Homo-oligomer: A and B are copies of this chain.
């Protein structure tokens, strides 16, 4: 049964596996001090058009979030997140386990605005409360929405005005940047956020996220924090070789564009059939609202998540596409949908 459950159902893009095979017997230094890591960092700096950022490769999103946030914050500092933010909902209290409170903001589209941030600041006035210090955003968000450039610029100004760190979770950054609606480029990010990561796991790598630290004051001793959290691999090459391959040409963006294209086909299919969506998600996740009976039929041939009950008869489902999604599977899904609707 074909799965649209997530964007990490398959292994890695074949070129990545090939790169691992080809480099396999070269002897290298351990712990990310190898040739490939240096080269991958250099390459990413070129792509970012910035030589003054620090780049580190970590294994996964939760690890990157907890290592970065605990390194950036002092004990009495808190992170602000949309209530749907991954650190708040699906990381088993990883941030709190490093000692930090997450202050949540209800947000219908998974994004944060300066007005919402201002409200949080307004009620944190003295030493009986934590100091909100870091703004955690995801792009694309957990519900598929994306940030436009001017939205980030507003957050940037607000954070500068209020001494806040702006951190972007980029587990699905590729899909966000390659969205039809995006006006944001990878090279824009170092100017807009203080740190962010370029997600590899959900865009063609076996595993791996590239954390980019843009603000000088956050760079110090970061490898100590990584080691302390168990986030330095002995064979650091395993991560860097993959990022080298993803960025030595435009593979990273091609894979994300493919995922988005597959999502667009699904979205168009639902739209043609006059279904509505839970959220405006112009990336690689699609959240159509469907009758429960229809969902039950679709589940016989495809696997996907039932995201949320909307009312007694309707539920939103989540379909996720990826670099590996086959166009024929997408077509089959829409055909099945249309066939079921004609009954």
Contact A230 B230, beta carbon cutoff 8 Å: yes
On whether the beta carbons of A76 and B27 are closer than 8 Å, the reply is no
| CA of A6 to CA of B324, assembled, Å | 36
Residues of B within 8 A of A5 (CB): 29-30
**Which of B11, B93, B230 lies in contact with A60, CB distance below 8 A?**
B230
Closest-by-CB residue of B relative to A206 is B238
Interface residues of A in 12-56 (CB under 8 A from B): 12, 14, 17, 20-21, 23-31
Check: A90 CB closer than 8 A to any chain B CB.
yes
* 1/0 contact string of A231-247 vs chain B (CB within 8 Å): 11111011000000000
- Is the contact region of chain A dominated by helix, strand, or loop, or is it mixed? loop
Q: Does A71 contact B (CB under 8 A)?
A: yes
Docked-complex contact B228 and A229, CB < 8 angstroms: no
User: Given the interface contacts A24-B12, A24-B14, A206-B235, does A225 sit within 8 Å of B66 by beta carbon?
Assistant: no
State the interface size on chain A (CB cutoff 8 A).
76
Q: What chain B residues lie within 8 Å of A92 (beta carbons)?
A: 76, 127-130, 224, 227-228
By the criterion CB–CB under 8 Å, are B235 and A207 in contact? Answer: yes
Chain B CB within 10 Å, residue with most, of A11, A25, A225: A11
Are A17 and B24 in contact, CB atoms less than 8 angstroms apart? yes
Interface residue A111 (Cβ < 8 Å from any Cβ of B): no
Q: Give the docked Cα–Cα distance between A9 and B29 (Å).
A: 6
B12 touches A27 (CB 8 A): no
Instruction: List the one stretch of A94-102, A154-162, A293-301 in contact with chain B.
Output: A94-102
CB neighbours of A225 from chain B (8 A): 75-76
CB of A315 within 8 Å of the partner chain: no
* Chain A 46-89 interface mask (CB, 8 Å, partner B; 1/0): 00000000000001111111110011001110100000000001
| A219 on the B face (CB < 8 A) | no
Q: Are A128 and B206 in contact (CB under 8 A)?
A: no
Measured between beta carbons, the chain B residues less than 8 angstroms from A70 are 75
Tell me how far the C-beta of A285 lies from the nearest C-beta in chain B, rounded to whole angstroms. Answer: 15
Give 4 A-B pairs besides A78-B93, A92-B130, A207-B234 with Cβ atoms closer than 8 angstroms: A5-B30, A10-B26, A76-B228, A127-B232
